[in-house]
Amino acid sequence: MLSWKRAAEILIFHMTAQLFPLAEAWWLYLAFTAVVLALLALDLGVFHRKPSTPTFREAAFWMSVWVALALVFCFGLYQYVGLKFGQVPAKQATLEFLTGYIVEESLSLDNMFVFVLIFGYFRIPFKFHHRVLFYGILGALVFRASFIALGSSLLRFEWVVIVFGVFLVLTGLRMMIGREQRIEPEKNWALRLFRKFMPVTPDLKGQRLLARIDGKLYATPLLMTLVVIETADILFAIDSVPAIFAITNEPFIVYTSNVFAILGLRSTYFLLAGAVGRFHLLRYGLAAVLIFVGLKMSWLNVQWDGHFPITISLGVIAFLLAASVGLSFVFEKPKAPAG
């Protein structure tokens, strides 16, 4: 017989999973997306109209702005759920949002290693990185929304949940014991396919993605960079979206935590792009997080009668990430031998 505490946890789990059914809460998804698009339009159309290289102070300011907006949304989510469903579901939904946001932000740090290499490969000046990442975010929003809708449909089946959990565990193990990612844009399938239909100019044409030369439309290196970044983000989403579904069954929370993490990615990139090499142990922390959430999805939830405590999950994830970052500074990366 289940204890009262276990029964309450199961009840909270099922209630949380039904807080925002799309058929009833479609207006929330639409309103949230409209606000995000308005913020992005304001960002590019007002604050970053001209290409420039953000200073460390500017990057730190914008990073704090996006984090503050995420926290404001989190507070609004708590108030809304509390008024409509009660304080217990409100606390659960808030913790799930925060945990998903932290996981997605952390996984995005790993993305930056790849972005730095891609920009370096195409020799894109630093002042144009913001514009490329801006359009990359627009594409990422579409891809992430599609992945979340697909995941929400598939995760209704118990065997899919187990498969996703095992996939995350295997992904974490591969990240932990495998070699670091190598970026070879010339082998990128999307880029090779794109080049078959669109001629490419090797020269930059300011901040334009397309340029007309002798009456013919050409893709610039900025557009080529964007294509590679978008395909890289699709691969990232394959890991990150199931990881957040391991934390919450609520698609709205998965979607909003993903979006806020993506919005802050550019500022984080400019803040840390020059220092990403120092976080050489972060990949092991991220690998451990993926293994943990995979185990949570495929095994731990079952052991806790349907829902592993979100407070413990948040603590474990925060500890793993903090430990990997801290150890990166304690044990510096060995320098490659000269010559």
Q: How far apart are CA 174 and CA 284, in angstroms?
A: 10
Task: Yes or no: say if 230 and 146 are a contact pair by the CB < 8 Å rule.
Answer: no
Residues near 288 by beta carbon (within 8 Å), at least 6 away in sequence = 172, 176, 320, 324
Q: State yes or no: pLDDT of 165 exceeds 50.
A: yes
Task: Yes or no: say if 253 and 100 are a contact pair by the CB < 8 Å rule.
Answer: yes
The 10s digit of each residue's pLDDT in 102-145 is 998 888 776 777 787 788 888 888 888 888 888 888 888 888 88
The 10s digit of each residue's pLDDT in 185-195 is 667 777 888 88
Mean pLDDT across the stretch 274-282?
A: 71
Provide the token pair at 130: 């913001």
Residue 231: alpha-carbon gap to chain centroid: 14
Q: State yes or no: pLDDT of 253 exceeds 90.
A: yes
Among candidate residues 100, 63, 103, 109, the one with its CA nearest the CA of residue 280:
109
Share of the chain above pLDDT 70, in %: 85
The 10s digit of each residue's pLDDT in 51-94 is 666 777 888 888 899 999 999 999 999 999 999 999 999 999 99
pLDDT at position 15? 39
The 10s digit of each residue's pLDDT in 169-190 is 998 898 888 766 556 666 777 7
Provide the token pair at 32: 């949230």
Question: What is residue 128's DSSP assignment?
Answer: G
Mean pLDDT across the stretch 145-154?
A: 84
Among candidate residues 238, 332, 286, the one with its CA nearest the CA of residue 109:
286
Among candidate residues 167, 295, 178, 308, the one with its CA nearest the CA of residue 239:
167
N- to C-terminal Cα distance for the chain? 68
Q: State yes or no: pLDDT of 5 exceeds 60.
A: no
Residue 52: alpha-carbon gap to chain centroid: 25
Identify the three-state secondary structure at position 52: coil
pTM exceeding 0.85? no
The domain segmentation of the chain, as residue ranges, is 10-179+233-330
Provide the token pair at 122: 């195409």
